[in-house]
A and B are shown apart, each in its own frame.
Chain A
Amino acid sequence: AQKVTQAQTEISVVEKEDVTLDCVYETRDTTYYLFWYKQPPSGELVFLIRRNSFDEQNEISGRYSWNFQKSTSSFNFTITASQVVDSAVYFCALSGNRDDKIIFGKGTRLHILP
């Protein structure tokens, strides 16, 4: 069975602090895809990153960075120098190679305090 665990339900940090959102996944598929989505109060899902299981390189995009560790089945997301606009719910998600279903974690609600 596929599963995504985001242990942090809610996080609050002061603006300009760095923050890491944790994601641990379970799958039996040898090929799979991992995602991070941002959901602001408007509700629309904003795609942040997609990573396939064969690519363990860490990725940096501006203030965002992702650390993919197959050995620990983790795909953590770090926001550097956080800003108030980063306040949102962030979902980690997983898709296997047997079907197209995307399984979402429960989300982490991030509050960036001014």
Chain B
Amino acid sequence: GAVVSQHPSRVICKSGTSVKIECRSLDFQATTMFWYRQFPKKSLMLMATSNEGSKATYEQGVEKDKFLINHASLTLSTLTVTSAHPEDSSFYICSARIPGLAADTQYFGPGTRLTVL
């Protein structure tokens, strides 16, 4: 099946710094990618929908200036957590949709665990 990678898999940073997480579709082009956030022992919450070449669509309650999303190519979307704070510590998962297929076809990355000290 289709493969989606994320980098880094794990990152620890100091409070106040910015962290960039990459999501890549390895063997297909993804016009749409999604970013989810998962707190410990909680469900996945959709943060935003990333469309190649246009601005991301953020879910209600997600700060767009805090979580910058860039989808500059058909195989790469990046999520930058700006001025990170300990409450931003979470598991971030991306997914990518294969264009032309049914809306149900999404492939998930392995996730990035962010710890902000």
> Is A66 an interface residue when CB atoms closer than 8 A count as contact?
no
Interface segment out of the listed A20-28, A57-65, A73-81, A101-109: A101-109
> Is B104 an interface residue when CB atoms closer than 8 A count as contact?
yes
> Is A91 an interface residue when CB atoms closer than 8 A count as contact?
yes
> Is A52 an interface residue when CB atoms closer than 8 A count as contact?
yes
Q: Are B43 and A97 in contact (CB under 8 A)?
A: no
Tally of contact residues, A, Cβ under 8 A: 23
A55 to chain B, nearest CB (A): 12
Q: Are A45 and B46 in contact (CB under 8 A)?
A: no
Over the window 73-117 of chain B, the binary record of Cβ atoms lying under 8 Å from chain A Cβ atoms (1 yes, 0 no) is: 000000000000000000101010100001110111011010000
A106 to chain B, nearest CB (A): 5
Q: Are B43 and A107 in contact (CB under 8 A)?
A: yes
B interface: dominant SS: strand
**Chain A residue with Cβ nearest B46:** A101
Q: Are A102 and B95 in contact (CB under 8 A)?
A: yes
Among A35, A95, A100, which residue has the most Cβ atoms of chain B within 10 A? A100
A37-B108 Cα distance, complex, nearest whole Å: 10
Residues of B within 8 A of A97 (CB): 103
B114 to chain A, nearest CB (A): 12
Residues of A within 8 A of B43 (CB): 91, 104-107
**Chain A residue with Cβ nearest B41:** A109
> Is B32 an interface residue when CB atoms closer than 8 A count as contact?
yes
Q: Which residues in A have some Cβ–Cβ distance to B below 8 Å?
A: 33, 35, 37, 42-45, 47, 50, 52, 91, 95, 97, 99-107, 109
